[in-house]
């Protein structure tokens, strides 16, 4: 099978695999090369797959999995890969820290924009009264 993990900006994984295990809203499942075509909405969790280098893991924030023939495409908005579960845990922690920092900066920018807007409305009202 060919596994492709698609993110909005790039393809995270594109390799031949012998098995893919993921969790859908109905429970965990495993796909093997001769399984029927399949579509599943994925819940946040760990997707594992076996390739030439052994078993690998990817933490995902949910998404959709589509198996058609020999192709398995998984589309997600966020993913962190690791060769083993310890490496994966560290990658997830780092990704969430970066995400927290980015969200904190975005909230600060929004507060500055709101404050500037309020100042401009007050200035406009004062100017309109004069």
Q: Angle at Cα 71 formed by Cα 69 and Cα 72, nearest 5°?
A: 115
* Closest alpha carbon to 37 in 3, 60, 9, 71: 71
* Closest alpha carbon to 79 in 2, 9, 1, 29: 9
The per-residue pLDDT for 100 is 65
**pLDDT tens sequence across 84-100:** 777 777 777 777 666 66
The per-residue pLDDT for 127 is 83
**pLDDT score of 20 more than 80:** yes
Q: What is the value of pTM for the model shown?
A: 0.69
**pLDDT tens sequence across 23-60:** 999 999 999 999 999 999 999 888 999 988 889 999 89
């Amino acid at each position: 099978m060919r596994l492709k993990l698609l993110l909005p900006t790039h393809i995270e994984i594109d390799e031949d695999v012998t098995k893919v295990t993921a969790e859908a809203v109905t429970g965990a499942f495993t796909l093997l090369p001769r399984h029927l075509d399949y579509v599943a909405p994925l819940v946040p969790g760990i997707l594992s797959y076996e390739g030439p280098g052994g078993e690998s893991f990817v933490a995902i924030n949910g998404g959709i999995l589509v198996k058609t023939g020999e192709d398995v495409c998984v589309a997600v908005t966020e993913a962190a890969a690791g060769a083993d579960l310890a490496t994966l845990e560290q990658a997830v922690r780092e990704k969430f820290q970066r995400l927290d920092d980015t969200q904190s900066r975005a909230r600060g920018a929004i507060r500055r924009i709101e404050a500037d807007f309020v100042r401009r409305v007050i200035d406009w009202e004062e100017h309109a009264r004069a």
